[in-house]
Chains A and B, each alone.
Chain A
Amino acid sequence: MIEAVGLTKRYGAKTAVHNLSFRVRPGTVTGFLGPNGSGKSTTMRMILGLDTPTSGRVTIGGIPFRKVPNAPRHVGALLDAKAVHGGRSARQHLLSLAQLSGIPARRVDEVLGVVGLQEVARKRSSGFSLGMGQRLGIAAALLGDPQVLLFDEPVNGLDPEGILWVRNLMKQLAAEGRTVFVSSHLMSEMALTAEHLIVIGRGQLLADMSVKDFISANSADFARVRTPDTEPELREKLGTLLGEAGAQVVPEPDGALRVTGLPLPRISDLAHGADIRLWELSPHQASLEEAYMQLTQGVVDYRSTADQRAGLQQQAAAPAPQGPGVPGQQHPQGYAPQPGPYGQPAHPGQPAHPGQPNPYAQAPGGAPVQGYGYPPAAGPGAPYGQPNPYAQPQPGPQAGAPAPMPPAAQPAAPADISTPHPEDAR
């Protein structure tokens, strides 16, 4: 059991961790999530007594780490895979750690086998890949057969086979009744590994709940509704209708509607009643990724801005594939990268990524509009014209949404990204 109470760490004027309280219980894998720079590693270091909290405390089994007798036999940790003297062999590295806590050399060979490094055990670790380094770090954590295990980004640099191995290892360790605390920024990985989540952003606790509760609390399931592309007025009509029925309707860039708050049969009935044909009516479930994005939206510290390439404009303009008339306008949009590490949410249930051909765009008549009108606009991210499709549902009646996407919404998207989030200013 790891218990933090009011944990706070300040580095000068910057507060890395603020008043963090949580418990990590034995028997389950607890995921520790947060965007880059949110204080995950700082918290890990404080748990291990490496950094002294400015205020608050953190204990392992009720005892501060520095007072734990023969710590390596109770707590194992992987903090940084590259924290190994490159000139030392893997075996010598582990041996020196084993000797610290009176662990026999036999155990070193055991854990080398467990992590699959027997072959390179006597090679100097400077030649190790990141994945091999992670394995060596995991071996060091397992050395003392500890009841409490901490892993900071254990799957970084591992191949798929290695990721699967780590996942199963964590689950197995937890099943043996150990306390397993794993930090990651990979949502998808945590969805498969962890049962419980502790989410922080800017050093503050955002969530402390089971994975299941986390998803249902932070996301809403939605339905995607698509009306015939050939008749834009139908879409407008349906949007108004659904809004009046109490649904929240958000137009998607490819012409579909994202509807929350109404069951699918009711949507179908409404459409049928109004004599509107539907091309698509599909249920979508939010993933952990979406739930996480939703939660941490306001606390992402490092958000990239759209790359305007203004400094390269002269060089770039000449060989530009675009027509000579529009380079200034096309470049930022056409080439703009995703707005941030999580800027473009990976919606598993959203088949029409801007870069991919839209299967519905093949419809005669509708194709030109879709092909030329939407994809560039959707390029810079915020594919729905709004940073958050859930939090700010558009007013029910889709009055301002004529068949082609409201033009006003398109320029808003890049502006929203390049302007720092109000909270980022701190």
Chain B
Amino acid sequence: MAAVSQVLKSEWTKIRSVRSTVWTLGVALVVTVALGVLICLLASNDFGSTASRDRAGFDPAGTSFAGMGLGQLAMIVFGVLVVSNEYSTGMIRTSLAAVPQRGTFLFCKIAVAALLALVVSFVTAFLTFFAGQAMLGTHAASLGDPGVLRAVVGAGLYMTVIGVFAMGVAAMLRSPMLALGTLMPFFFLISSILGNVSATRKIGRYLPDQAGARIMQVVPPSGDDVPYGPWGGFGIMLAWTAAALLGGYLLLKRRDA
């Protein structure tokens, strides 16, 4: 039995010895922070001209995470590449010949990648929060305000879990092109379309990203009738992710490598 600690060590060597790790995680951080700061700056400049009704619904903490929608795509690329690189290079055979316990192999790989994503996501979340609030000036929220710390921590968790979800999907689909081709349009287009068209909104809000994004909001949008709270939404996202991982595991276990 290949010891779990050995597999973890090996996966750490693998993940830090390819450039895509630095690139994808770097882009995720930079895009999220930069876009968050930009939107906060715009929001701050426009604040004077918005109606008072909208001012009441203004969510300073949530606004600083506005870049997450784009930044998460880079995190998805990271998640997909970490897993599907093994398949596209054929390395999976060498790996599985060395670790015949496929479950151990997959979950160690995902654990290492998830931990790295967690660190980067938390740095991103706090960085984008503080930088965003600095742009908002007088309208800024502080970490001590009710719900704000939960939103910032939630942003870090959200970003991590979206990456892990991508890893699970990639483990199922194997090919990086297929996995990215499925996940990218889904998170970039389909999910937001489903969430914004009134007929499908009731379905759209149970999708992983929309349910999970709830945890980043401090002040819910007006007229909000979502039947779950911040942690409830995050739970829905975790359920999606668990399902993706389970699917990936079962397929890996059964399939010929």
Contacts and interface: CB of A to CB of B under 8 A. Distances in A.
Given A100-B98, A101-B98, A80 B2 contact: no
A88 interface: yes
Contacts of A83: 89-94
B100 A80 contact: no
Nearest to B2: A100
A237 interface: no
A66 interface: yes
Given A71-B100, A97-B10, A99-B10, A88 B93 contact: no
Contact of B2 (A48, A51, A71, A77): A71
B96 interface: yes
B94 A79 contact: yes
A70 interface: yes
Interface in B48-107: 85, 89-101
B2 A140 contact: no
Contacts of A99: 6, 9-10, 13
B3 interface: yes
A65 B89 contact: no
B13 A95 contact: yes
B100 A96 contact: no
B182 interface: no
A262 B45 CA distance: 105
Contact of A51 (B13, B90, B257): B257
Given A72-B98, A99-B6, A85 B89 contact: yes
Nearest to A105: B13
A100 B13 CA distance: 10
Contacts of A97: 10, 94, 98
Interface in B95-138: 95-101
Contact of A77 (B6, B97, B254): B97
A70 B7 CA distance: 11
Interface string B1-23: 11100110111011001111000
B256 interface: yes
A69 interface: yes
Given A71-B100, A77-B97, A97-B98, A88 B2 contact: no
A84 B89 CA distance: 6
Contacts of B89: 82-86
Interface in A349-377: none
Contacts of B85: 85
B90 A96 contact: no
Contacts of A87: 17-20
A57 to B, nearest CB: 15
B98 A71 contact: yes
Contacts of B14: 85, 88, 92, 96
Nearest to A87: B18
A102 interface: yes
A79 B13 contact: no
Given A45-B93, A82-B90, A50 B98 contact: no
Given A51-B256, A52-B256, A84-B89, A102 B94 contact: no
Nearest to A144: B98
Contact of B97 (A79, A88, A96): A79
Given A85-B18, A93-B17, A95-B13, 20 more contacts: A48-B93, A48-B96, A49-B96, A49-B97, A50-B93, A51-B256, A65-B100, A70-B1, A72-B98, A80-B93, A83-B89, A83-B90, A83-B93, A84-B91, A88-B14, A96-B17, A97-B98, A99-B10, A99-B13, A100-B98
In the complex, the 8 A-B pairs of residues with the closest C-beta atoms, listed nearest first: A83-B90, A92-B17, A99-B10, A51-B256, A66-B100, A50-B257, A96-B13, A99-B9
Interface of A: 45, 48-52, 65-72, 75, 77, 79-80, 82-89, 92-93, 95-102, 140
Interface of B: 1-3, 6-7, 9-11, 13-14, 17-20, 85, 89-101, 254, 256-257
